[in-house]
Structure 1
Amino acid sequence: MSTLYDFSRHLAELFPRVGTPAFASELVGLLKSLIPIEDATIIVYEGGNLPVLEYFDLIRDTGSTTLDRYLQGAFLLDPFYLAAAREQRYGAFRLRDLAPEGFKDSEYYSSWYRKCGYKDECGYIFPLRNEGFVNIALGRTTPRATFSKAHMAVLRDIAPTIQALCHAHWAEPSHRGTGPNLRAQLHKALDGFGSSMLTERESQVINLVLHGHSTKTIAEKLSISVETVKLHRKHAYAKLEVSSQAELFYLFLDALMSAKDYDGGDTLVAYLQPPESRRSDAH
């Protein structure tokens, strides 16, 4: 009974905030009244624009560099983002529902989740009427704390109401402009990463490594043996002059974030040019 009362009380306070800057924090407050949430982030993906941070409540300081990397390119590897952008999956999910096997061993997980202090994550993905979607990420930072099936049942029960509120709040497109589809360009850059230096199979393996897949799941996806996966990864690392998944991850991000006016191809081509060549090409 108290849960229903808390929900009704917070909902009554949230309605007048629709369309105002206070909406996001009030929405998080409502969710925190229902299940144990220690951190929350709300990110809006509008049309083809880069993600916009609407609410940020991380207890641990991830640092501006980590956050910038996420918003400018690392989000491409986020299981919640991929579920919406590539699979059109919407609703309430736990990280474990969406992440590939081996994800917690990935450099993306180390560079984002561990720095945030997250022990578990769940959240909503809702489509918006402006051809975008919103990700409401909810985190637990207490050691060994997880989101239970009961917690997820609560989130799913109220999902229609939360989605209707999000639709109302983000009903109108922002005034950020209607330029090129930047996210589509970044997807092309991710798909083409290393293609100028690697074989097609090596590129496929590297792409799956970046997405957090284990050697076993890569072998299953590509219908090759585990030993063949290891061989392709070894050859790819040698060609890219990296020795670990961490170095691969940062090479991808650095090449991506340095690409200006990207129009296709492998971002490494321009990134690996000597600084003098880059300057002459710009003129």
Structure 2
Amino acid sequence: MTAEFGNGAASAFSAHAARALDHCERAEAPQMLLDAIGSVVPYAFAMSVVYHRDGPPDHVVDTFTGRAAKQAMQLYLEGTYILNPVYNAYLAGLRAGVHRLRELAPDNYFSSDHYRQFKVRRQDDEELGYLTHGWPAGMEEVVIAIELPQGDLGEISLYRQASRGGFAETDCALLQAVEPLVGAVYRRIWQHRPRRARQGGRASPLDHLLEDFGKGKLSPRECEVAHMILKGHSGESIARNLGISITTVKTHRQNLYAKLGLATQQELFSLLIRSLQEKDALLPERR
């Protein structure tokens, strides 16, 4: 432990972490690990999922209470996870560590109205600009990312009310200090869960979410640009990430719009939604 902890917090964290490790094969182990984290950095609520490149995420644990919040968690697992910057950062190669959610979200994230078809609603005061229906509002989120075998990624997300200050830099520093041990315990817990967790999951027709979108109609570079637009990147961000000029980005965007018979970014989002629904990748909006 570092000097930043204090004896009480260090003892509580060690005790909870050891308990989770000793009982890593039990269903309660993930909650024990959350208890260990909460003894160092208290949170309003927390959740954890494991992301895969070949299907939807597995639910590990959450501290949500109430029917609406539990339903929101289910909606997330069924579809809205594909909009989450953590998931998209995972597909782009996110490594283990502590991350503020707003640091993972690309600029211009979720600026169009396509959110309505993903069982989410526009919420300008949210970090992402949207909220899954039923998800607790007004929260700031900090993520502990944990690298797992077979290319999977564990996410532990902690939430606090943004109006009460959210997470301070000292909180993030404490999480960074315990992150290696948290990751080690999480991996031990996950060793006892993958086969059981995946057997009950609904197989996803998506392969890396956008891999098939635009294939056969667009060039490889045009597909890259289309995928980044769909993930919320601005022209400047695309140019920066792909190492090309903004003029070249604009040319690729014009060409891919023409090839797909589109005129606007909103039409591009709508085309993605239709393709996902045709593959049964998203459930239709419940009325």
TM-score, normalisation: structure 1: 0.69
**Conserved? CA contact 1:73–1:257, under 8 Å:** no
**Conserved? CA contact 1:45–1:52, under 8 Å:** yes
**Conserved? CA contact 1:140–1:146, under 8 Å:** yes
1:19 corresponds to 2:25: yes
> Equivalent of 1:41, from 30, 44, 47?
47
- Aligned AA (2:142): C
- Aligned AA (2:253): H
Structure 2 counterparts to residues 4-153 of structure 1, below 5 A: 4-45=10-51, 48-58=54-64, 61=68, 64=71, 67=73, 70-103=76-109, 105=111, 109-112=128-131, 115-129=135-149, 131-143=151-163, 145-153=165-173
Shift of 1:192: 3.1
**Conserved? CA contact 2:107–2:234, under 8 Å:** yes
Give the structure 2 partner of residue 174 of structure 1: 195
- Aligned AA (1:156): Q
Higher strand share: 2
**Conserved? CA contact 1:202–1:236, under 8 Å:** no
Distance 2:217 2:226 in 1: 12
Q: Deviations over 1:46-101 (max 9, x none)?
A: 5734211112334683574x655543454344332333343151122222332222
**Conserved? CA contact 1:202–1:233, under 8 Å:** no
- Aligned AA (1:79): P
**Secondary structure at 1:20's aligned position in 2?**
coil
**Secondary structure at 1:190's aligned position in 2?**
coil
Cα gap change, 1:87 to 1:175, in 2 (>3 Å): same
- Aligned AA (1:81): Y
Structure 1, unaligned stretches of length 5 or more?
263-283
> Equivalent of 1:186, from 185, 207, 210?
207
**Conserved? CA contact 2:58–2:197, under 8 Å:** no
**Conserved? CA contact 2:143–2:157, under 8 Å:** yes
Cα gap change, 1:19 to 1:257, in 2 (>3 Å): farther
Distance 2:50 2:102 in 1: 22
Cα gap change, 1:238 to 1:190, in 2 (>3 Å): same
**Secondary structure at 1:102's aligned position in 2?**
coil
Give the structure 2 partner of residue 236 of structure 1: 257
Distance 2:217 2:211 in 1: 13
Which 10-residue stretch deviates more, 15-24 or 105-114?
105-114
**Secondary structure at 1:186's aligned position in 2?**
coil
Distance 2:136 2:106 in 1: 20
Give the structure 1 partner of residue 178 of structure 2: 158
**Secondary structure at 1:120's aligned position in 2?**
strand
Shift of 1:225: 3.3
**Conserved? CA contact 1:7–1:34, under 8 Å:** yes
Distance 2:172 2:25 in 1: 27
Query: Which protein, 1 or 2, shows the higher relative CO under an 8 Å CA cutoff with sep ≥ 6?
Result: 2
Distance 2:212 2:279 in 1: 13
**Secondary structure at 2:162's aligned position in 1?**
coil
Distance 2:176 2:259 in 1: 46
TM-score, normalisation: structure 2: 0.68
- Aligned AA (2:152): G
Cα gap change, 1:116 to 1:239, in 2 (>3 Å): farther
Q: Deviations over 1:100-129 (max 9, x none)?
A: 223364666344479542532212111224
- Aligned AA (1:193): F
Distance 2:263 2:62 in 1: 33
- Aligned AA (1:96): R
**Secondary structure at 1:143's aligned position in 2?**
helix
How much identity, in percent, do the aligned residues show? 24
**Conserved? CA contact 1:92–1:125, under 8 Å:** yes
Aligned residues: 256
- Aligned AA (2:90): A
Cα gap change, 1:91 to 1:157, in 2 (>3 Å): same
CA RMSD of aligned residues (A): 4.1
**Conserved? CA contact 1:38–1:140, under 8 Å:** yes
Which 10-residue stretch deviates more, 211-220 or 163-172?
211-220
